[in-house]
Homo-oligomer: A and B are copies of this chain.
């Protein structure tokens, strides 16, 4: 499982404050904590800072790369902000987060992906917004696969995001997402499938429980990456067990090691 640590995001008030005050030590601490907890990528997002996003994102990238060698997940809707980070990237191949099935957006983002040989999160939505059903998500995935082909981006650099919507907003949203994961996995087996998970539980109590149950189900359908809080020990234990169950952990050795280290006592 590919874990993308989600904590460095300016929508979290402590991160917003640290960015505002240029508190590098705080950011470094969060980056290190996520790396130590098992993250494979460190997401950086300051999308709430509309006016200063470009410089803030580059500042975050620089700071994070001072303390961790993990690749970045460059999380921005703004091409100029992404490009600025790519120029100062020192760590291994990053993920750009994200492109959609909108032609205008693909035309700007995908040449960067091609040039820098990056990975790319491909959101299965287009100009009409987030689809309500599996078919809408899959139609966008097919359109995105066409774009990737056009720009010569290998499918194993693509992380399809089947887009989680709150189950409180519509009871079929969980199934629509899960079925989309399965269908995309069956159709594009070389691609990765990722999700930003926490939206599923928006408006419900005990959100972390819903999030980890969703993740287990999605993993069974082919999800192999997630944008999550890697310091959530219950979530990480769920992932560890799911990998053992899905034959992604030879002889259950990672599971058994995690158990010995007390990481599964949740």
Binding site for B on A (CB under 8 A): 167-168, 171-172, 174-175, 178, 200, 204-206, 209-210, 213-214, 216-217, 219-221, 237-238, 241-242, 244-247, 249-252, 255-256, 259-260, 264-266
**Secondary structure type dominating chain A contacts:** helix
Establish whether residues A209 and B237, one from each chain, have CB atoms under 8 Å apart when the complex forms.
yes
- Known contacts A175-B245, A210-B255; 19 additional CB pairs below 8 A are A167-B247, A167-B252, A171-B247, A171-B250, A171-B251, A172-B247, A174-B245, A174-B246, A174-B247, A200-B245, A204-B244, A204-B252, A206-B237, A206-B264, A210-B245, A213-B238, A216-B216, A217-B242, A220-B220
- 17 A–B contacts, CB within 8 A, in A order: A171-B247, A171-B249, A171-B252, A172-B247, A175-B246, A204-B256, A204-B259, A209-B237, A210-B241, A210-B244, A213-B216, A213-B241, A213-B242, A216-B216, A217-B217, A217-B220, A217-B242
Cβ A259 vs Cβ B214 within 8 A: no
Q: How far is the CB of A142 from chain B (nearest CB, A)?
A: 23
Number of copies of this kind of chain in the complex: 2
B contact residues around A172 at 8 Å (CB): 247
Among A245, A247, A250, A266, the most chain B Cβ lie within 10 Å of the Cβ of A245
The answer for the CA separation of A171 and B254 in the assembled complex, in Å, is: 13
User: In the assembled complex, which residues on chain B have CB atoms less than 8 Å from the CB atom of A167?
Assistant: 244-245, 247, 252
Set of chain B residues within 8 Å of A210, measured between Cβ atoms? 241, 244-245, 255
| Shortest Cβ gap from A240 to chain B (Å) | 8
> CB distance B174 to A266 under 8 Å?
no
A256 to B172, CA, bound (A): 17
A216 / chain B contacts, CB cutoff of 8 Å: 213, 216-217
The 6 closest A-B pairs by CB, nearest first: A174-B245, A217-B220, A205-B259, A171-B247, A206-B264, A213-B241
**Residue pair A256, B174 in contact (C-beta under 8 Å):** no
Contacts of A205 in B (CB 8 A): 255-256, 259-260, 264
Looking at the complex, which one of B178, B247, B260 makes contact with A220 (CB distance below 8 Å)? B178
Which of A172, A204, A219 has its CB near the most chain B CB atoms (within 10 A)?
Answer: A204
